[in-house]
Amino acid sequence: MVRGEKQNQALQTGSQFLFQSKRFMKVLVTGGVKSGKSRIAEQRSLELSQGEKAIYLATTEMIDSEMEARILVHKERRKDRFVTVEEPLNLHETIQQYSRTILIECLTMWMNNMLFHQKTEQLILREIERVLQLPNHTVFVLNEVGLGVIPDNPLARQFVDISGKVSQLIGAHADEVLFCVAGQTLRVK
């Protein structure tokens, strides 16, 4: 794990973030479960990192054997191409320690963690705003959960609503928005 990397001073100009004459890309990769998001996000992160290992910020908490199996599939696919940092809650605090490309895998699980730990919608949105301002190329992975039916319980509805707001917030500031379906990628922005 790489710790204590210095960050440059930032100037925000509209939706673009400039750092000592260097422009940092923000990329949102979204789509359904098993749509190919992770593979595309990993590929885009490696392109942005230009030969330096990107930080793979893993947000999933291992809660059962099925989740453990999913995590192992991701670990096997990324092998040693990334520096893995595991952090289920504190995105901004963790990312600000690094001056390299960041892949956040995934915001859907991060929002789940935040709600489980009784964090508010306002705190969730503020954390995303703060991450968007950091001087890193950042690739966000987020499940598109708003294409189905309205959930039948309040917590699930809250989750879908927050996820939609997070998606819109990142999409408004992102340089690229990629939508994955059936292993194919559509460029939205």
Structural domain spans, the chain = 31-187
The single residue listed with the structure tokens 């001073």 is 9
pLDDT band at 47 (very low <50, low <70, confident <90, very high): very high
Measured N-to-C along each axis, helices 121-132 and 107-116 cross at an angle, to the nearest 10 degrees, of 140
Q: Which amino acid is at 38?
A: S
With a pLDDT cut of 90, the percent of the chain lying above it is 71
Contacts of 29 (CB under 8 A, 6+ apart): 37, 40, 41, 44, 139, 140, 141, 142, 178, 180
Q: What is the pLDDT of residue 22?
A: 61
Query: What's the average model confidence in pLDDT over 142-168?
Result: 93
pLDDT for position 92: 98
pLDDT value at residue 18: 45
Q: Tell me the pLDDT tens digit for each residue of 92-127.
A: 999 999 999 999 999 999 999 999 999 999 999 999
Class for domain 31-187, per CATH? alpha beta
Which pTM does this prediction carry?
Answer: 0.85
Residue 132's nearest CA partner among 158, 78, 170 is 170
Active site positions, annotated = 74
